[in-house]
C-alpha cells in the first residue's frame, strides 16, 4: 500500500501526432492546420505545437488571440500562425513581434488592418455563412474594393452542425460559401471545415482543414466510429477507504444518504481538477485490477478537490490505487455526455488542472 495524494494527467503526444496524420490522410490534398487555441484545449499549446511542427510537419496553426500566437512562435518558427479573433489594439504589438496572421472577421477589423498592415502578412478573411458568429456579412464584403479582395491568403467560414452528417445546415452553408467565394474570392484559397467537417465529403475540404478537437481524441463525428485515438488519461489516487452506516450522509448539503451500509473510497479529484460539479451523485469513475475493470458511482457532491465513490462491491481495492476519471474506455465524450455537456468543455477544464502531475508521453 502506498500513500498518494496527487492526480496524474497523462498526455499522449504520440497519439496527437497519429490523429493529425489520420486526419491529414482523410483530408486529401487540403493542408491540415492544427487548432491549438485555449492552450491546445488545455493540453499545452507549446508542447502540442512543437510536436506537430517537428514530428508531423505541420506548418499552419490557429489560436484565438495574439497572446496565444506569441506563446507558440518559438515552437513553430517558420509556420503560419493564424489568430481567429483578429488583430486589435490589445494585440497589434504581438502580431508585429511574432509575425502573426490575423483572421479578419469584419469590416471594422479590416479597416484596422489597413491602418496597421504588417509587411509580408496576408490575412485570412472569415465570411459568415449561417453560424452567425464571427465573419463578414455580405453587405460588408461589398465595401471592399477589387484590390482589397485579392490580398487575402485564405477565405474561411465555419459550419454550425458538421457533427451531424445529414444536417440540412451543412449543404446550406456549403452552397453559401461557394456562392460568396465565387462572387468575391474566385482565386483565393479556401477553408471551410474543422475536424467534424472532414467527414462530410470531398467538396467540403477545399484547400485547408482546421483540426482541433479531432487531434485531442474527441469524436467530432459521433454518428460514426471515432477516428481519433484517445490523448488524455486523468487518474487520481484513493486517499481513504471507509465504511458508512445506513442513514449516513455524504458530502456537502447532504445530497446523498446511504440506504444500506456502504464502503466508500475518497478520491483526490474534484471540480478544481476539472471534474464538473454536475457529476454530483451521477458521475462515475473506474478502477482496474489485473483481472477486472469496475465502475464506482460518485456519491454526494463533487467537492473542489475530492469525490466520494461507492466501492461497496469492490474486491481488492487499496488505498493509493488510482481511480480512472477519464481514460481510453471512459472517454472525454462519455464524461461530457454524463455531465450534460461536451468533451471539449471537459478537456478545456481538465487541461488547466494546476496540481495534476502532468506527464507527456
| 237, 294 Cβ separation under 8 angstroms | no
Q: What is the dihedral of CA 143, 147, 149, 152, to 10 degrees?
A: -140
Task: Check binding of 86 to a copy of itself (CB under 8 A).
Answer: yes
Task: Check binding of 85 to a copy of itself (CB under 8 A).
Answer: yes
Which residues inside 218-257 make contact with a copy of itself, applying CB under 8 A? Answer: 237, 239-240, 242-244, 248-254
Rounded to 5 degrees, what angle do the CA atoms 132, 340, 296 make? Answer: 155
Q: Which is nearer to a copy of itself, 186 or 354 (CB)?
A: 354
Task: Check binding of 331 to a copy of itself (CB under 8 A).
Answer: no
Task: Check binding of 359 to a copy of itself (CB under 8 A).
Answer: no
Q: How far is the CB of 145 from a copy of itself (least distance, A)?
A: 20
Beta-strand pair 60-63/80-83: parallel
- Considering only residues 22, 27, 49, 91, which one is a binding residue for a copy of itself as defined by CB under 8 A? 91
Q: How far is the CB of 186 from a copy of itself (least distance, A)?
A: 25
CA 230 to chain centroid: 12
Per-position x/- string for 30-69, each x denoting binding to a copy of itself as judged by CB under 8 A, each - no binding = -------xxx-x----------------------xxxxx-
Q: How far apart are CA 68 and CA 59, in angstroms?
A: 16
Q: How far is the CB of 335 from a copy of itself (least distance, A)?
A: 14
Beta-strand pair 307-310/60-63: unpaired
Q: How far apart are CA 39 and CA 326, in angstroms?
A: 19
Which residues are marked as active site? 37, 252
Q: How far apart are CA 263 and CA 240, in angstroms?
A: 10
Residue 65 cell numbers, joined: 488571440
Q: How far is the CB of 178 from a copy of itself (least distance, A)?
A: 19
Task: Check binding of 123 to a copy of itself (CB under 8 A).
Answer: no
Task: Check binding of 352 to a copy of itself (CB under 8 A).
Answer: yes
Which residues inside 177-196 make contact with a copy of itself, applying CB under 8 A? Answer: none
Task: Check binding of 108 to a copy of itself (CB under 8 A).
Answer: yes
Q: Which is nearer to a copy of itself, 165 or 189 (CB)?
A: 165
Task: Check binding of 171 to a copy of itself (CB under 8 A).
Answer: no
| 155, 124 Cβ separation under 8 angstroms | yes
| 190, 155 Cβ separation under 8 angstroms | yes
Amino acid at each position: 500500500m502506498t500513500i498518494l495524494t496527487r492526480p496524474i494527467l497523462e498526455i499522449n503526444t504520440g497519439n496527437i501526432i497519429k490523429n493529425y496524420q489520420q486526419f491529414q490522410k482523410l483530408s486529401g490534398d487540403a493542408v491540415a492546420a492544427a487548432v491549438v487555441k485555449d492552450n491546445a484545449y488545455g493540453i499545452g499549446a507549446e508542447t502540442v505545437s512543437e510536436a506537430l511542427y517537428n514530428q508531423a510537419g505541420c506548418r499552419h496553426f490557429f489560436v484565438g488571440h495574439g497572446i496565444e500566437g506569441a506563446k507558440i512562435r518559438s515552437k513553430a518558427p517558420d509556420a503560419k500562425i493564424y489568430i481567429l479573433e483578429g488583430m486589435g489594439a490589445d494585440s497589434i504589438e504581438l502580431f508585429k513581434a511574432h509575425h502573426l496572421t490575423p483572421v479578419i472577421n469584419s469590416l471594422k477589423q479590416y479597416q484596422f488592418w489597413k491602418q496597421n498592415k504588417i509587411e509580408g502578412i496576408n490575412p485570412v478573411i472569415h465570411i459568415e455563412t449561417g453560424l452567425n458568429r464571427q465573419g463578414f456579412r455580405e453587405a460588408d464584403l461589398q465595401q471592399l474594393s477589387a484590390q482589397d479582395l485579392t490580398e487575402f491568403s485564405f477565405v474561411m467560414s465555419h459550419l454550425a452542425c458538421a457533427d451531424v452528417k445529414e444536417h440540412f445546415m451543412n449543404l446550406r452553408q456549403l452552397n453559401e460559401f461557394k456562392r460568396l467565394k465565387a462572387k468575391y474570392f474566385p482565386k483565393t484559397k479556401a477553408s471551410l471545415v474543422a475536424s467534424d467537417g472532414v467527414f462530410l465529403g470531398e467538396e467540403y475540404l477545399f484547400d485547408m482543414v482546421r483540426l482541433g478537437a479531432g487531434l485531442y481524441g474527441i469524436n467530432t463525428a459521433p454518428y460514426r466510429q471515432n477516428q481519433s485515438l484517445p490523448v488524455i488519461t486523468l487518474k487520481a489516487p484513493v486517499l481513504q477507504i471507509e465504511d458508512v452506516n445506513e442513514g449516513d450522509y455524504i458530502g456537502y448539503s447532504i445530497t446523498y444518504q446511504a440506504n444500506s451500509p456502504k464502503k466508500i473510497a475518497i478520491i483526490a479529484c474534484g471540480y478544481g481538477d476539472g471534474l464538473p460539479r454536475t457529476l454530483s451523485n451521477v458521475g462515475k469513475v473506474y478502477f482496474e485490477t489485473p483481472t477486472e475493470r469496475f465502475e464506482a458511482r460518485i456519491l454526494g457532491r463533487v467537492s473542489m478537490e475530492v469525490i466520494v465513490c461507492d466501492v461497496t462491491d469492490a474486491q481488492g481495492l487499496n488505498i493509493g490505487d488510482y481511480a480512472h476519471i477519464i481514460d481510453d474506455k471512459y472517454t472525454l465524450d462519455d464524461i461530457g455526455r454524463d455531465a450534460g455537456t461536451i468533451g471539449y468543455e471537459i478537456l478545456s477544464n481538465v487541461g488547466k488542472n494546476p496540481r495534476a502531475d502532468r506527464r507527456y508521453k
